[in-house]
Chains A and B, each alone.
Chain A
Amino acid sequence: MARHTHIPCTQCARHVRATDPQCPFCGTAITEAQRLSVASAPSLSHRLSRSAMLAVGASLTLGACASTTSGDRDGQVTADARPDAMDEGTIGALYGDPGPAPEYGAPPPPPMDAGDSDGGPAPRYGAPPAPVAV
C-alpha cells in the first residue's frame, strides 16, 4: 500500500497527488514549487491532544504556504516495512494522523490561552491563520 501526499490544486481546490503532473480534475499543472511547499506527513501528532494537534496543523499549514523545506518529496511512502522494523515515524507516515472526530464525540476545547492565535477556524487554501506557538 502507498499513501500519498496531496496538494490542493490552485485552480479547483481539489486535492491532487504530489506525484501527479497535473490536476486530474481540471488539468492545471502542478508546479515544482507547489511540490516543495508541502510539508512531510507529520508523524508525532498522534501523541498530542486534539487541540494541540490543531495547533500543529495550523502551524504546518502556515509553513506549507511559505516553506522552502527540503527532503524526500516523492509523495509516497511504501508499506513493505516489516512490523519489527516499524518505528513511530514509519507507522505515522503509513497510517497518517486522522484527527479523531467521532460523531458521538465533541469538538476539542479551545486552547487554554486562546486569543487571536488559537489556531481557530480552518483556513481556506492560501489564507492560513496566525502562527501558533507549539
Chain B
Amino acid sequence: MKDTESPLGPRPKLLPIAPKAAPGRRHLPLAQGARPVDQYWRPLYAVWELTLQCDLACRHCGSRAGRSRPDELDTRESLDLVDQMHAMGVKEVTLIGGEAYLRKDWLVIAKAIADKGMELTMTTGGRNLDDEKARAMKAVGFRSVSVSIDGLEPMHDALRGVKGSWKAAFRALKSLKAAGIPVSVNTQITRPGLTQIEDTFDLLVQAGVHAWQVSQTVPMGRAADEPDLLLEPFQVLETMAVLYRIKKKADAARVRIWPGNDIGYFGPYETMLRGNMPRGHMSSCGAGRMTLGIEANGAIKGCPSLPTREYTGGNLRDETLKDIWERSEPLRFTRERTVEDLWGFCRTCYYAEDCLAGCSWTSHVFLGRIGNNPFCHHRTLELLREGKRERMVLKTAAPGEPFDYGIFEIVVEDWPADELARARELVATPEGFLLHTERAQAGIRARFEARAQDLPDSVDYD
C-alpha cells in the first residue's frame, strides 16, 4: 500500500469486535484517610456508561462496545449511585454507552438524575433514537443530547460499521429537536476523516446544533487495532487550522465549539477556542478533580476515557463513591502533580506548569504513561521552527479488552522539503492541508464509498 493512500480497508480480524468484558476488579485498596486536597476537589461532571451494549460497531470505539458487561449495576444500585452523586455535589451527568437507551431501565435512572436537580445530558450514536424515545427523554428532563457524527455519509457509515448510521444520526437530531431537546454533536477526527470535518460542520449548523465537541481518535480499544485511523502529531497543524476555519463559521452561526481535552494546546488559537474558560486557556487534565467516569459495572475512574486497568479506583459494590473519590490512588493522580512528573518535550516546555502535558488519556494510550503529549500545537510549532516533526509508530498491539491500548513510540524526523514549506504556509495562512493529506484524499474517499456498500444494516452481537 502506498503511503499516500492512508486507507480504511477491511476491518482487522485479529481481535474480537465486541469481546465479552471481564468482570470489574473488586476490593481495590484505598488510602487510610482523605487529605484536604482530596476533599477540596469535587466531581462536578460525571460521565456514566450505563451499559456496554451497543447497536453500532464503531471501528474507533475505545470500549469495544457491543455486548453488555457481565456484571452491570442493577436498577437499585444505579439509583443509589444517583443519590451518592447528588450528595457529592455532581452538577451534570452525561449518559453514554455502549448505547445508553438499550438498557431497559435507562429512563428510570435518567429521571432520577434530573429529579435530583443535576443537569442531564447524553451522548449517543442515535442509531435507534426515534420520535418516541425523544419525547420520553424530554419528559424525564434531558437538557441536551449530543449525537456522534464523524464525517460525511460514506465515511461515517464506514467508521460506525453499520449502513445507515449517518442518516439515523441526523434523524435522531431531528427527533430530539422536535421533542424540544437542545442538540449538539460529538465528532472524532480521524486521519482519513480530517478533510471532511468542515463540510460535516456545515451540515451540523443546518441541523440546528447548539454546540459541537471535537476530539481526535486515539488508540484505545478498537482504534488501537487500526493505526491508519490515527492522526500523526504533526497533523495537529492541520487540525488546528481546520478548527480555526470552523470557529469563524461557528461564531457566525452561534454554535459553541467545545474542544475535548485532547485538542490544543497553547498555540495561537488557544484564546479563540478556550477564551471563555475561566482562565482563558486550557488548564491541564481534570480527571479526578472535576471529572468522574463511571463504568456500567460500578468501576469508578477520574475520567471516562482513561484505561480501565490502570485508572479504576474502586467499585461501588465495595466502597462508597465518596471514599473512592477521596481515597483511591488512581483518582488522585492529577491533584498534586508537578513538572517533576513530566518527561520528554513536556518536561521543559514553557507551559509545563500550567499544561502538565494536557490530556492524560492521550499520553497514556499512545505511550503507556502520562506526562508527555506529542499532540500539542505549541510543541508542533516549536519543532517546525527547527524543521522537525513527530510521528507515532506502533510497537506493541493492544490485547483486545474494553478500554485497552497498544504502545507507540515517538519518531522525531526532518520534514520532507516540500512538506516543510507547506507546513509553514499552513501556519501562516491558515488555509488548506498538508500535501500528504491532499494527495491521499481521492483514494480515501473512493475507498470509503466502496466500503459503505458492504456494510451490514444492523449488528447482532449475540
Contacts and interface: CB of A to CB of B under 8 A. Distances in A.
Contacts of B177: none
B184 A106 contact: yes
13 contacts: A12-B268, A14-B266, A14-B378, A50-B44, A53-B278, A98-B261, A99-B290, A102-B45, A106-B121, A106-B213, A109-B182, A110-B211, A124-B272
Contacts of B182: 109-110
Interface in A24-67: 24, 41-42, 45-54, 56-58, 60-61, 64
B276 A6 contact: no
B293 interface: yes
B227 interface: no
Nearest to A96: B283
B276 A50 contact: no
Interface residues on A, range: 35 or more
Given A98-B289, A102-B286, A50 B92 contact: yes
Given A102-B261, A105-B47, A110-B182, A120 B256 contact: yes
Contact of B271 (A8, A86, A100, A110): A8
Given A46-B44, A98-B285, A109 B257 contact: no
B146 A107 contact: yes
Interface in A8-30: 8, 12-15, 17, 24
B196 to A, nearest CB: 19
B276 A57 contact: yes
B223 to A, nearest CB: 11
Contacts of A128: 275
A109 B182 CA distance: 7
6 tightest A-B CB contacts, nearest first: A98-B286, A109-B144, A107-B211, A106-B146, A96-B283, A49-B91
B254 interface: yes
Contact of A105 (B257, B277, B304): B304
A45 to B, nearest CB: 5
B36 A84 contact: yes
A73 interface: no
Given A54-B276, A109-B143, A122-B274, A100 B304 contact: no
Interface string B289-300: 111010000000
A60 B277 CA distance: 9
B59 to A, nearest CB: 16
Interface of B: 35-37, 40-42, 44-45, 47, 62, 89, 91-92, 94, 96, 119, 121-123, 143-146, 182, 184, 186, 188, 210-213, 215, 218, 247, 250-251, 254-262, 266-287, 289-291, 293, 303-305, 335, 338-339, 350-351, 353-354, 359, 361, 378
Contacts of A46: 41-42, 44, 289-290
B285 A14 contact: no
A61 B275 contact: yes
Nearest to B182: A110
Chain B CB within 10 A, most for which of A2, A6, A99, A119: A99
B122 A106 contact: yes
B283 A107 contact: no
A46 to B, nearest CB: 6
A27 to B, nearest CB: 14
Interface of A: 1-4, 6, 8, 12-15, 17, 24, 41-42, 45-54, 56-58, 60-61, 64, 79, 83-84, 86, 88, 91, 95-110, 114, 118-125, 128-129
B291 A100 contact: yes
Contacts of A50: 44-45, 91-92
Nearest to A16: B350
Nearest to A13: B268
Contacts of A83: 35-37
B92 A108 contact: yes
A129 B6 CA distance: 41
Given A83-B36, A124-B275, A103 B262 contact: yes
Chain A CB within 10 A, most for which of B44, B182, B279, B286: B279
B44 A47 contact: yes
Nearest to B209: A107
B250 A48 contact: no
A20 B338 CA distance: 21
B283 A124 contact: no
Contacts of B143: 109
A105 B122 CA distance: 8
A3 B339 CA distance: 11
A104 B42 contact: no
Given A107-B186, A107-B256, A108-B92, 7 more contacts: A8-B280, A54-B276, A91-B40, A98-B291, A99-B274, A100-B45, A102-B261
